[in-house]
Amino acid sequence: MRIPFNKMQGAGNDFIVVNNIELNLTGEQLSRLAKQTCERRVSVGADTLIAIETAKSAGDFYARYYNSDGSEAEMCGNGARCVARFAYETGLASEEMVIESIAGDVPAQRLSERIYRVQLNSPTVFKQDLVLQIEGRDLTVDYVELGNPGIPHLVVHYPDLAMTQLETILDLGRELRNHPSFEKGANVNFYDLLRDGHIVERTYERGVEDFTLACGTGTGSTAYVLNKKGLTPDNPVKVEVLGGQLQVNVEGENLFLIGDTNRVVEGTIIDENLRV
């Protein structure tokens, strides 16, 4: 099976983008495709596979997001920015567009050749200062869901995060991601505030089951929480992630994610081990 694709990344969050309007694969087939092609070293490798489909309502197109474990995600902020660029450059949409998703419509805008902005799904759940039992101790966290159905995010303060090796917080991230308090599990966003007002963030992603270089909805959730707590003097909020820098404009309940995109590879998947 020959599958045309683009490999893209935004702040190090990387994606395989396919046009399912042409491929016409079922959801089950897309899940298998994601699980196989996102595996690093043996196939293309990516955090997520994004499938573009015909719009179901008034949007420009519909995007489906499949994690590297084959599970379908509600939405992906950096993925939406990348797929917006793909859609513009391949003639599927103009400089301003609406991307439909499971979690709701996502307006997107081309700001320059590589910089794209998306309006993340608005928070539908916000629980401040939750106390969770982790490893026999109490840990205070914040919880946010974006969109409906909600994309679940925990926001967790971790001092000296920029100097912390990920291996030392891997088990904590895994326990929080699978905490029984959250029916669907949760993405886990560790953060620390720097003296210049910037934020350092590290995200353990549900579906990838590891830390990634960036998470757009996680960055939006973190910026939202810190804005609500009055801890971010700047707007847009500048967030340093492993893959670079993202910015979030927080305007009440509206969150706008801004950052760089990069088209890395355009080609055809001819993986001889692929079984879709």
List residues with catalytic annotation: 76, 215
Binding-site residues: 13, 67, 77-78, 187, 205-206, 216-217
Q: How far is CA 141 from CA 57, 84, 190, in A?
A: 37, 33, 10
C-alpha to C-alpha distance for 217 and 210, rounded to whole angstroms: 16
| 161 alpha-carbon distance from chain centroid | 20
- List the structure tokens of 197: 């007002």
Q: How far is CA 138 from CA 20, 65, 169, 183, 224, in A?
A: 46, 34, 16, 20, 23
Residues 6+ apart with CB under 8 A from 211: 166, 170, 173, 202, 203, 204, 205, 242
Binding-site residues for substrate: 13, 67, 77-78, 187, 205-206, 216-217
User: Mapping DSSP to helix (H, G, I), strand (E, B) and coil, where does residue 218 land?
Assistant: helix
Could you give the residue ranges of the DSSP H alpha helices within 154-244?
166-177, 216-228
H/E/C letters for each residue in 70-103? CCEECCCHHHHHHHHHHHHHCCCCCCEEEEECCC
Phi, psi dihedral angles at 145 (to 5 degrees):
-120, 135
